[in-house]
């Protein structure tokens, strides 16, 4: 494992790519928290503050057509252009100085989220060309570790900078991180073939990617399992404050549980490449989902130690199926389709989170945690079962 990770980190293009992920991820994590604080201070409304995160997430609902855009041009120039555009876009937040400017803030967040969908699709398509498919598991795991690591420190930095300089200061920081990321992408030594011009409509090209994903017997189970797991994670996330209250702690204790969960995700990200090679995508993803089932069962116990262990187990298990799914998509999708297929897979895997949060917010009010969490644990084991018990099917031909 160490030698393979060392190989990835010594690779110039992998090093630049991870650097771009780290700096832009830092800015993004700082901004999403600062924007919520900003809106709360301007309006006093918890609901409007919560809409900041929704505005960033909402564009994933149209992920497939946005991902199709990444298949129409060379991906490296696209990443450079979009990151520079985000850097300029964020400067418009300097115009937000009262409630009258909130529309600017929400418009920026929506565009920000849409650009994030496009860049995720472009990255997924570019990375196999830049570093080779044999180390994709390691690179995707390190990317997950980098993202989770940023979530541990960047929100605190964003909140501190907001207190010192206001929202415009955080926006400027994020703009600088995107300019730095654009520079790193520009330095990648990647030779991309010119994309084939397709006369079909945007929707026809988008549908082609969806058909490929759904018709692929090895990709479909992983992506569907990822979506169901994220649905369950939304339910579990909605219950965290009830768990904290039952333990007798203040709501701020949820930050401790999230930090422990993040530490678990960082740890599994580093090891994911070796685990993927050892167990294969299905068993790696299925084992991770089963581990989140154990995490829900632990969280049902009225004990601080069990809650902390459950949070760590959830942090370890949850990324497994996501890393397995993305890596499989990158390895088994033709380059011409990869942007739209990756975006479609991301939509299927991540959109259910919001539905789970909404369902969990209702369930936690009317179902006792001693019932809800064991049921959630059982549901996760059922999601994991097809990946662990069935042999991988042969993939159908592309376009089937």
- For residue 1, pLDDT over 70 is answered with no
The pLDDT-based confidence of 399 (bands split at 50, 70, 90) is: very low
**pLDDT (tens digit per residue) in 147-162:** 888 777 877 788 788 8
Return the higher-pLDDT residue of 312 and 67: 312
Burial 256-279 (b: 16+ CB within 10 A, else e): ebbebbbbbbbbbbbbbbbbbeee
The pLDDT-based confidence of 353 (bands split at 50, 70, 90) is: confident
Q: Two tokens at 316?
A: 């370890």
88 Cβ contact list (under 8 Å, min separation 6): 175
How far is the first Cα of the chain from the last one, in angstroms, to the nearest whole number?
36
Compute CA distances 95 → 89, 289, 372, whole Å. 11, 45, 45
Place of tokens 């919560």: 50
- For residue 132, pLDDT over 60 is answered with yes
Which residue in 115, 212, 146 sits closest to 9, CA to CA? 146
Angstrom distance (rounded) from CA 222 to CA 395: 13
- For residue 396, pLDDT over 70 is answered with no
Query: What local confidence, expressed as pLDDT, does residue 9 receive?
Result: 64
Query: What local confidence, expressed as pLDDT, does residue 62 receive?
Result: 86
pTM over 0.85: no
Most confident by average pLDDT, 123-132, 150-159, 377-386: 377-386
Mean pLDDT (the chain) is 86
Query: What local confidence, expressed as pLDDT, does residue 393 receive?
Result: 56
**pLDDT (tens digit per residue) in 85-124:** 999 999 999 988 888 888 999 999 999 999 999 999 998 8
Query: What local confidence, expressed as pLDDT, does residue 394 receive?
Result: 52
The pLDDT-based confidence of 349 (bands split at 50, 70, 90) is: very high
- For residue 55, pLDDT over 60 is answered with yes
Coil/strand/helix, residue 44: coil
Query: What local confidence, expressed as pLDDT, does residue 5 receive?
Result: 61
DSSP designation for 398: T
- For residue 253, pLDDT over 60 is answered with yes
Angstrom distance (rounded) from CA 325 to CA 329: 6
Apex 29 CA angle, 383 and 376, nearest 5: 20
Question: Sign of the CA dihedral 213, 216, 218, 220?
Answer: positive
């Amino acid at each position: 494992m160490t030698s393979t990770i060392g190989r990835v980190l010594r690779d110039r293009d992998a090093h630049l790519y991870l650097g771009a992920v780290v700096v832009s991820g830092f800015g993004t994590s700082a901004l999403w928290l600062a924007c919520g604080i900003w809106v709360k201070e301007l309006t006093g409304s918890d609901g409007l503050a919560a809409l900041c995160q929704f505005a960033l997430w909402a564009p994933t609902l149209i992920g497939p057509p946005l991902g199709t855009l990444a298949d129409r041009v060379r991906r490296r120039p696209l990443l450079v252009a979009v990151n520079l555009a985000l850097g300029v876009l964020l400067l418009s937040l300097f115009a937000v100085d009262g409630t009258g400017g909130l529309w600017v803030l929400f418009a920026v967040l929506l565009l920000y989220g849409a650009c994030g969908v496009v860049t995720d699709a472009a990255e997924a398509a570019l990375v196999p060309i830049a570093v080779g498919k044999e180390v994709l598991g390691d690179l995707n795991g390190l990317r997950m570790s980098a993202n989770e690591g940023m979530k541990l420190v960047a929100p605190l930095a964003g909140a501190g900078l907001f207190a010192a300089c206001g929202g415009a200061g955080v926006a400027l920081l994020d703009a600088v991180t995107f300019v730095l990321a654009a520079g790193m992408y520009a330095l990648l030594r990647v030779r991309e073939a010119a994309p084939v011009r397709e006369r079909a409509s945007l929707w026809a090209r988008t549908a082609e990617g969806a058909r490929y994903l759904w018709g692929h017997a090895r990709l479909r189970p992983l992506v569907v399992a990822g979506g169901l797991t994220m649905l369950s994670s939304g339910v579990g996330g909605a219950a965290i404050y009830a768990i904290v209250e039952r333990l007798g702690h203040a709501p701020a204790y949820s930050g401790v549980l999230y930090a422990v969960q993040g530490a678990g995700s960082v740890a599994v990200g580093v090891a994911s490449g070796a685990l993927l090679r050892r167990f294969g995508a299905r068993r790696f993803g299925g084992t991770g989902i089963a581990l989140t089932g154990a995490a829900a069962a632990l969280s049902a116990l009225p004990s601080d130690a069990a809650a902390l262990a459950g949070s760590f187990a959830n942090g370890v298990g949850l990324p497994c199926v996501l890393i397995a799914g993305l890596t499989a998509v990158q390895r088994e999708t033709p380059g011409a389709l990869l942007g739209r297929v990756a975006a479609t897979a991301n939509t299927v895997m991540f959109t259910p989170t919001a539905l789970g949060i909404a369902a969990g917010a209702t369930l936690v009010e009317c179902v006792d945690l001693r019932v809800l969490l064991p049921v959630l644990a059982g549901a996760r084991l059922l999601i994991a079962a097809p990946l662990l018990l069935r042999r991988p099917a042969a993939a159908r031909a592309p376009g089937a």
